[in-house]
Structure 1
Amino acid sequence: MPVSPGQGGNSSSPTIAVLHAVDRPPALAEHACGAELRFATDDTLADTLPGCDALFVWDFTSDAVRGAWPAADTMRWVHTASAGVDRLIFPGLVDSDVTLTNSRGVFDTPMAEYVLGVVLAFAKDLPQTLRLQDRREWRHRETEGIAGRCAVVVGSGPIGRAIARLLTAAGLQVRLVGRRPADGVHGIDELDALLPEADFLVLAAPLTDRTRGLLDAAALGLLKPTARVVNVGRGALVVQSDLVDALAAGRIAGAALDVFETEPLPADSPLWGMPNVIVSPHMSGDTVGWRDALVELFADNLARYRAGTPLRNVVDKARGYVTGNTGGSA
């Protein structure tokens, strides 16, 4: 049976499986300090896992871990190069003693900057400006201000809080929504009452049973016609067909979407051609140097693992996210 750090296995010289797609983690061998690295892709992971102490999920878009998990006979620790862990929350891992950690802290500021960027793009009508420029068409318009507007940010973790700080600094009135009420945070049960206030609804929550399909036709119906939706969390937070219907009917004014139910977004999706929609390919947190930052975080946790000290970003597997500042700063 898999065991957690500090219980058997080899912490001083661990064997680590690394799940990757085309690109491998940069300079990982330099950070491994003698640990044995076994690189695997989706089709070779099950053959690679036996005898491994740890798994570094570099390809965090892969679903291969679930199928290969029965082969993880000595696994003690799984780390993912993402903030979301929904692809790893399956019974075999959740019910085991294996410790799961994520890459919380790497994406907070970049994603907050992305959200501020699309809020400004909508308010200043930048997509239309670029379309008119392509046609060499001079058309004067009035645009909107953002100072004093209301942003409802769903997700009170580090990413949501970074978004709230940046939007507040830009002059917006921010309502931060979390799983339960806390100081400065509204509980998720208050969301329906907050939606009619929102000029911008920002989704930055983890994907859990509670948040799946959170923005459906009923919730969209509570938004005002001038509201815009920004999703940087997970595609499944939104019932995409309901969102398409609301956009097409003009029941909301627009959407900026970085995540989708199916990725890559299919070429025949109506979202591509909607003038009030900004589509980006799951890149809101990916700024220059992000891959190096992910490897450095893993390397720090690897040093902690080998020393037998608490790991950073330990996920509460029952909840599906990190609770508190476990194991040091993130």
Structure 2
Amino acid sequence: METIESMAEVRYTGEKGLAEALRGADALFVYDFLSTAVPGAWHAADKLRWLHIASAGVDPVMFPALRESDVTLTNSRGVFDASIAEYVLGVIIAFAKDLPRSLELQREGRWQHRESERVAGRHALVVGTGPIGRAIARMLRAAGMVVSGMGRRAREDDPDFGAVHASAELVRHLPAFDYVVAVAPLTEQTKGMFDAAAFATMKQSARFVNVGRGELVVTADLVTAMREGRIAGAALDVFETEPLPPDDPLWTMPNVLVSPHMSGDFAGWRNALVEVFADNFERWHTGRPLRNVVDKQLGYVPSGHLGA
């Protein structure tokens, strides 16, 4: 932040002081991307022209007054793409090679030979065709998997996904896939898209991976699907309620891998987020186009926009 401090008056604040700090401010950097304090302090944003959030998802700041304002919204897409893709490949391999069970047996001192599954040749559906979804697709293809995408509109011959199916036809296409990866942005259209109907159509041998937003999933329906054996496993990095409550059944369910919203958090990620903001601040200060401008009606950065 030193470079920015040399060009502008910078005010640092927590949630309680946000409204006071916002008065007269031209730009707001929401470094705490899990904070929901911005809507409550919005009345004080009397001069604000630009808001940048330190995450790819913008749902914590996507409230009606911001949508209707002239304030430009940018995000930090590009920082976590490769790291999340590595996570997704890692949990898929963990499922295929039964690594969680191997660790259990190791702790018990038991030698129990099993056969495992191949990853190559398995079919994966990546729901969400933004930069993170594309990084996941490339990573899974490199491991020999057959990958398709799912986005707002169907198309063929995509350079990363091959075929892209329309999100409106999710239930129709789910039965064809061994792994389903959720990485879609949270919008009114995607909220709760993975519900009882979706899980009921998946293969019983299929695994579900969520690295998008917890609200993409109806958690109660996922718990029921796991208990009734409708799907074979789930790897979850995001949840409707975070932190995940200690008494939540997902903690102890067999074939469920739980991680605390860390799939993208590599060593150095905090500095990388500030670097994205610093680059955009220099652009804003000199009148150049900003990177990662979010379409506030769609809730994400449209394809083809100047990226990170």
Q: TM-score range by the shorter chain?
A: over 0.9
Structure 1 residue 34, shift from structure 2 partner: 3.1
Is the Cα contact below 8 Å between 2:26 and 2:50 reproduced in 1?
A: yes
Q: 1:41 aligns with which of 14, 24, 41?
A: 14
Q: 1:80 aligns with which of 44, 47, 53?
A: 53
Point out where structure 1 has 5 or more consecutive residues left out of the alignment.
1-27
Is the Cα contact below 8 Å between 1:32 and 1:299 reproduced in 2?
A: no
Partner of 1:258: 237
The one-letter code sitting in structure 2 at the alignment partner of 1:155 is G
Partner of 2:141: 168
Q: Write the distance in 1 (CA, Å) between the matches of 2:47 and 2:307.
A: 28
Q: 2:168 aligns with which of 168, 189, 198?
A: 189
**Secondary structure of the corresponding residue to residue 245 of structure 1:** helix
Kindly indicate whether residue 25 of structure 2 is the aligned counterpart of residue 52 of structure 1. Answer: yes
The one-letter code sitting in structure 1 at the alignment partner of 2:28 is L
**Secondary structure of the corresponding residue to residue 215 of structure 2:** helix
Kindly indicate whether residue 207 of structure 2 is the aligned counterpart of residue 228 of structure 1. Answer: yes
Partner of 2:73: 100
What is the TM-score when the length of structure 2 is the normalising length? 0.96
Partner of 1:5: none
Partner of 1:20: none
Q: Write the distance in 1 (CA, Å) between the matches of 2:254 and 2:174.
A: 23
Structure 1 residue 329, shift from structure 2 partner: 3.6
Partner of 1:281: 260
Q: How do 1:100-179 and structure 2 match up within 5 A? A: 100-179=73-152
Figure out how many residues of one structure are paired with residues of the other and give that number: 302
Q: Write the distance in 1 (CA, Å) between the matches of 2:144 and 2:277.
A: 36
What is the TM-score when the length of structure 1 is the normalising length? 0.90
Q: Write the distance in 2 (CA, Å) between the matches of 1:316 and 1:270.
A: 37
Q: Could you report, residue by residue, the CA deviation over 1:146-202 in whole angstroms, capped at 9, with x for unpaired residues?
A: 111110110000000110111111111111011112343221123222100111010
Structure 1 residue 32, shift from structure 2 partner: 3.6
Q: Could you report, residue by residue, the CA deviation over 1:227-279 in whole angstroms, capped at 9, with x for unpaired residues?
A: 10000000000000000011011111010000000000000000000121000
Partner of 1:23: none
**Secondary structure of the corresponding residue to residue 127 of structure 1:** helix
Partner of 2:247: 268
Structure 1 residue 31, shift from structure 2 partner: 4.4
Q: Write the distance in 2 (CA, Å) between the matches of 1:225 and 1:129.
A: 22
Q: How do 1:194-209 and structure 2 match up within 5 A? A: 194-209=173-188
Point out where structure 2 has 5 or more consecutive residues left out of the alignment.
159-163
Structure 1 residue 33, shift from structure 2 partner: 2.9
Aligned-residue RMSD, C-alpha? 1.0
Is the Cα contact below 8 Å between 1:313 and 1:325 reproduced in 2?
A: no
Partner of 2:278: 299
Moved more, 265-274 or 40-49: 40-49
The one-letter code sitting in structure 2 at the alignment partner of 1:197 is A
Q: 2:301 aligns with which of 319, 322, 325?
A: 322
Partner of 2:161: none
Moved more, 201-210 or 191-200: 191-200
Is the Cα contact below 8 Å between 1:151 and 1:174 reproduced in 2?
A: yes
The one-letter code sitting in structure 2 at the alignment partner of 1:208 is T
Is the Cα contact below 8 Å between 1:203 and 1:233 reproduced in 2?
A: yes
Structure 1 residue 292, shift from structure 2 partner: 1.4
Is the Cα contact below 8 Å between 1:232 and 1:257 reproduced in 2?
A: yes
The one-letter code sitting in structure 2 at the alignment partner of 1:214 is M
Partner of 1:18: none
